[in-house]
Structure formats: C-alpha cells, structure tokens
Amino acid sequence: MQRRAAGIYVAVFLVIAAGAYTYIGVAEEPTIEVNDPDYTLQETGQKFTVDDRQYNVTSVGDGSATVAWTNESARFTAALENNTTIQRQNTTFRVLVGNASDPSQATLREVQNLSENTPTVTQDGQTYVVVGGNQTANRTLVPVDEYKQQQFGEPETRTISEGNQFQYEGNATTIGNITAEEVPLQWTGEQTTSVSFDDGATGQLGPNDKEFIAHAANGNLLLSADIEGYNAQQQEIAHFNERIAGLWGVAILSALAAILLIMLALMPVKD
C-alpha cells in the first residue's frame, strides 16, 4: 500500500517536473525592439543633426559607435605664470610681472645660460665664473651676470600689455587682465568633441544635452529618446528570466522529490 501511494506521489512530481521543463522549452524570451528610432547609425562618415548641431559618425560596429562634432569658435584659455619660462623662436624667455598692485604690463626677459663646461664657484652666496688659471690659483672671479653680459650682450626683453595680441603655441591669443601671479591668455579656435555609445547605454547630444539610449540591431546602432520605453522592455526581459529561473527550480526540486520517494519506497520493510 505504501509503495502504491509512493508511486502516485512520484507520478505527480514527475508530471510537475515535466510540465515545468516543457514550458521552459517553449517559452520565448522577449526582445527589445526600437521600431521608430530617432537616428540610425550605419557607417563611418555618416552625418546627422541634433537641434541644429551636426555630428559625424567616426566609428560604428560591434554594438557601439562614436560620433563627433566640431565647435569652430570654442574658447580656450591659458596663463603665463610669473617667473616661469617660455619658448619663443628658439629663445627662452622668463616671464616677469612687476610689483604694482594692478599691473597692466609684463616683461619677457631672455634667459642666458652658461655652457655646461663653464667653471663656477659660490662665495658668500654669490656665484662667480672662474676666468683663467684654475680653481685655486691665478684665477679671476667674475660675477655671473657680468660674465653673461660680456659673452652675450644685454639680454633681449619684450613688453606685453593687456589687450594686445600674443602668439602662444601657434595661436593668436589676446592678453587678459594681468595680475601679480600670471598673464592670462585667451583665444578661439576649433574644438572637436566626441560622444561614445554602447548597446544599452545612454549619451547626450545636441546643444541642449538631449539624452538618447543606444540599441544594436543588424550591425547598426539605433538611437532613441524613448528611454522610458526602452527600460520598460528591459524590465520585462528581467521578469521573464526570473520566471524561467523559478520554473527551473520547480523542475529540479520535483525531480529530486520523485527520486527520493522512489528510494524510500524501495527500502526493505522490517517486521
């Protein structure tokens, strides 16, 4: 009688396991579909416009894409810090700002460097160039500044003023409000900004930073502003996978229960 009851329970568990397994086999996972994308990125060199800003597709493929736009009048800034050096026409200059409370000018003074084999000594905090003789006898000590003047002449100096044009790293810059710490520079020029998209990720385009979500399909990358709808489809897929995982649990546990009942039913009965 016990074995007959066990057989009935085994059959029930096997039916449950088979039903769960069958449903897993026939269930189709939902997929994300972007039926009306705002933009379809297909090939390198493709151009498209977002709110009057033109973008160029620089790369696309493998579920990702990069687009770029060029601002032809971007504003750039830099600064020449006081007592630092810059290069101009193969000459090194030191930037010197006066001690005025509101300076309007700065000076570029040529840096005159001694050759590496020029002997020098320091005495009482003053550096001298050793001329003639050796380091200990028959020598003449000439102050470094005096020696440089003898060898190179007066250092070249240039004055720069607020509002003037100044060539800096190939750019025609305008000198801003000079302070005791620095000489500010500003200029306009071209600046290229790139934005990368990956499948399922978002990015911002256009002057108003409009947000788009990317979806890979048939070798293309689709951009859609309907992020809410895209996320809803992702949640549906996640919910489906949770249900499938639950069914796998039912199938496995039911099969194990059936096996356990069979083992218990086949155990010998002691009188």
pLDDT in tens, 231-267: 888 888 788 788 878 878 877 887 787 788 777 767 6
Where in the chain are the domains? 2-31+229-265, 37-111+155-225
- 189 vs 140, residue with greater confidence: 189
Mean pLDDT, residues 66-86 taken together: 95
- Does position 271 have pLDDT exceeding 60, yes or no? no
Q: What is the mean pLDDT of residues 191-201?
A: 95
**pLDDT higher than threshold 60 for residue 27:** yes
Mean pLDDT of all residues belonging to the chain: 86
Whether 210 contacts 50, CB under 8 Å: yes
How many C-beta atoms lie closer than 10 Å to residue 182's C-beta?
Answer: 18
3-state secondary structure 64-124: EEEEEEEEEEEEEEEEEECCCEEEECCEEEEEEECCCCCCCEEEEEECCCCCCCCCEEEEC
What's the pLDDT score for residue 133?
61
Higher pLDDT, 149 or 96: 96
Average pLDDT over residues 39-60: 96
Mean pLDDT of 180-207: 95
Q: What is the pLDDT of residue 269?
A: 60
DSSP 162: T
Mean pLDDT computed over 50-56: 96
pLDDT at 270: 58
Per-residue pLDDT tens digits for 105-140: 999 999 988 888 888 888 888 888 888 765 556 678
* Span 23-44, average pLDDT: 84
Q: What pLDDT, on the 0 to 100 scale, is given for residue 1?
A: 42
Q: What's the average model confidence in pLDDT over 50-76?
A: 95
At 4-25, the pLDDT tens digits run 776 776 777 677 777 767 777 7
- What is the value of pTM for the model shown? 0.64
**In angstroms, what CA-CA distances link 230 with 53, 163, 182, 238?**
25, 53, 51, 13
**pLDDT over threshold 60, residue 49:** yes
The percentage of the chain sitting over the pLDDT mark of 90, rounded to a whole number, equals 47
Q: For residue 137, what pLDDT is reported?
A: 61
Contacts of 252 (CB under 8 A, 6+ apart): 17
Strands 220-224 and 210-217: antiparallel
